[in-house]
Structure 1
Amino acid sequence: MKGQSMKVVQHLEELRKAIIITLGIFLLFFLLAFIYVQDIYHLLVKDLPFKLALLGPSDILMVYLMIASVVALAATMPIAAHQVWRYISPGLTAKERKVTLAYVPALFILFIVGISFGYFILFPLVMSFLMSLSDDMFTTFFTTEKYFRFLLNMTLPFGFLFELPVVIMFLTSLGIINPYLLTKIRKYAYFVLIITSVIITPPDFISDILVIIPLLLLYESSITLSKFVYNRQQKAKDKLVV
């Protein structure tokens, strides 16, 4: 009983250490991003065909905080993933540790790909569509805070959603899930993804469709990648039996 208590304390201590390291790295990147936040801001708004307005002195500070937070989050992602790997690695075999470590850079890359998809592809399409609804009937007037909140809603969620295939492969390699389970719960997963797309997009049908389609493709690609990992594991087990 005492030994089990010691193990629990050690696990909690390791978890606390991982959280502190991750938060420390996040704060460091946040400070660095905040130093250069004006340069990042000008880079993001340089091609806008309209000027952004401020309704209050605190608006620009909120925007700077949002930009610095997103930059810090993206930079911290591989560190956070590595800390998670370090926390669970003692319970893995040497081969499993080697395999799962390879997922760390993939998480960061897909996070950046997801944000890039939202920023360079989805955001311009949705923005253009919404602007076309005015049909020169209204004067374009965007506040800085609302514009960047809209931008973040169209980009940041995709940074996390695009990591779905890697997370699925990781959980499959650990034996927690398999492609047959993913296929069985497909309709429930579709429902969750559709609800997610409705929540993170503006209230119009076109935006929902533009988000739903890539999310469903991500899930289907996750099943395919899960099958690849699962079949490779089964072949390795069969060789050991022989």
Structure 2
Amino acid sequence: MTEPATEQPLVAHLLELRTRLVRVILGIVIVFLALFHWSGDIYALLARPMMQVMPAGAQMIATDVTTPFFVPLKVTMMVAFVLALPNTLYQLWSFVAPGLYSHEKRLILPVMVASISLFLIGMSFAYFLVFPVVFGFMTAVTPHGVAMMTDIDKYLSFVLGMFLAFGITFEVPVIVVLLTRFGIITVEKLREARPYVIVGSFVVAAVVTPPDVLSQIMLALPLWLLYELGIICSGWLGKPQPRKEQDA
């Protein structure tokens, strides 16, 4: 088994960390500058699920003077952060890899890639499937005579919250696999906890989603199924190795 590289002084580690952070920030800034010209179009793409279900002639509003300028910039920065994730992942891996054992390298890199991929899948699930349902429900329950005019800043906050909720939800398989690989819990215990997880999934969905049954089901059901996927992956990977065998 390959031993980690010779320990470096603290100053050398800090300098290396500074270099990697600068490269991460530069990667995000470069992508942001490349997308800046289309910031309005990017926001329009984010707002499309809402605009498609709003009544004919309805529009979003901006209640602050600077909101029409800063909200599209925030959305563009978020997109730049997502598009720059490969560079961010590479810089993070380059910083931590020299100090890892070979068995740790085999675990951490797939975990990092799987975590980012599942988070993006969760965001896509929210955008393409959940948002049309949620916004359609909100439009349907708007009382007669009430003009539905959503503030673009509050809309952005709601969308980011939903992205975060579904992104974290889709991390469940990674969390389950890590818990079993580190010996914190066994696959048998995870299977025994299945009824509690199902109930907990609907409780979480009721807290983080709007008060319509369909959107709650659209979060609770994937949460449960991803938990089952984590159990399957944990069983496929097998039992964790004893510590002595890992450090042999």
TM-score interval (norm. to shorter):
0.7 to 0.9
Q: Distance in 2 between matches of 1:97 and 1:212?
A: 33
Give per-residue Cα distances to partners, 1:49-80, cap 9 Å, x unaligned. 43112223211123213211220221122333
Q: Distance in 2 between matches of 1:9 and 1:191?
A: 50
Q: What's 2:93 paired with?
A: 85
Seen in structure 2, the aligned counterparts of structure 1 residues 155 and 143 have a Cα distance that, compared at 3 Å, is same
Q: Distance in 1 between matches of 2:61 and 2:106?
A: 51
Q: Which amino acid aligns with 1:223?
A: I
Q: What's 1:115 paired with?
A: 123
Q: Which amino acid aligns with 1:55?
A: T
Give per-residue Cα distances to partners, 1:100-133, cap 9 Å, x unaligned. 4345544443233211100111111111222222
Alignment of 1:124-203 (within 5 A): 124-166=132-174, 168-169=176-177, 175=182, 179-180=186-187, 183=190, 186=193, 197-198=205-206, 200-202=208-210
Are the equivalent residues in 1 in contact too, given 2:61–2:149 (CA < 8 A)?
yes
Q: What's 1:53 paired with?
A: 61
Q: Distance in 1 between matches of 2:127 and 2:148?
A: 21
Q: How many corresponding residue pairs?
A: 230
Unpaired stretches in structure 1, ≥5 consecutive residues: none
Paired residue secondary structure (2:167) = helix
Are the equivalent residues in 2 in contact too, given 1:52–1:142 (CA < 8 A)?
yes
Give per-residue Cα distances to partners, 1:168-201, cap 9 Å, x unaligned. 546766x475644972895887788667545543
Matched, 1:24 2:26: yes
Q: TM-score scaled by structure 1? A: 0.73
Q: Which amino acid aligns with 2:60?
A: L
Q: What's 2:16 paired with?
A: 14
Seen in structure 2, the aligned counterparts of structure 1 residues 73 and 172 have a Cα distance that, compared at 3 Å, is farther
Q: Distance in 2 between matches of 1:125 and 1:18?
A: 41
Q: Distance in 2 between matches of 1:176 and 1:19?
A: 33
Q: Distance in 2 between matches of 1:145 and 1:34?
A: 18
Q: Distance in 2 between matches of 1:14 and 1:190?
A: 45
Q: Which amino acid aligns with 2:33?
A: L
Q: Distance in 2 between matches of 1:148 and 1:208?
A: 20
Q: What's 1:37 paired with?
A: 39
The structural deviation recorded for 1:89 is 1.9
* Most deviating of 112-121 and 145-154: 145-154
Q: Distance in 2 between matches of 1:136 and 1:111?
A: 38
* Most deviating of 27-36 and 8-17: 8-17
The structural deviation recorded for 1:91 is 3.5
Unpaired stretches in structure 2, ≥5 consecutive residues: 1-5
Percent identity, please.
Answer: 29
The structure with the greater share of residues assigned to helix is 1
